Amino acid sequence: MQPVEVPPDLNAVIVAAAAQRRNLFIARDTHYDAFNIELRWWIGNHLHRLDFQPFPEGQVVVKKLIDIFPVAGRLLYWARNAIPMFPYLAKTESTDLGTLTPPFTKLELEEAVDGFLARAANIT
């Protein structure tokens, strides 16, 4: 399946409801040739990511990703982004959380994103 751009309704819900209310970071297009959107937050040396990946059929696959750094997570993450050829020293764990299937309303999206965030918070 070939990825497509994030639906505007989902983008608005993620930005407004999730990121602004909870002070989470937003990242877009984090995978090669993909138009995903991620909510990110740090807990110690672990970078937690809630990844929303849309597909042409309209569904959006949601995954929880945890990047576990051996030490100084934020420093190593910064170094990877700022220094050419610096290795990514984290181990990444992935958990499928579910799929959003259209048609969906803004209220349904808000409830679904809140539910995914709650489930993601319980995965360590």
49: exposed, middle or buried (C-beta count within 10 Å: 0-12, 13-18, 19+)?
buried
Is 90 exceeded by the pLDDT of residue 114? no
DSSP label at residue 33:
T
Range of 4-13, 31-40, 52-61, 91-100 with top mean pLDDT: 91-100
Q: In the predicted model, what is the mean pLDDT of the chain?
A: 85
The number of beta carbons lying within 10 Å of the beta carbon of residue 67 is: 20
* Percent of all residues in the chain with a pLDDT value above 70, rounded to a whole number: 90
CA-to-CA separations, 21 to 6, 28, 36, 114, 124, in angstroms, rounded: 20, 18, 21, 11, 22
Do residues 120 and 14 touch, judged by C-beta distance below 8 A?
no
- Give the per-residue pLDDT at 76: 96
The residue-averaged pLDDT of 27-50 equals 85
Q: Which H or E run includes 15?
A: none
What confidence tens digit (pLDDT) does each residue in 64-107 have?
A: 999 999 999 999 999 999 999 999 999 999 999 999 888 878 78
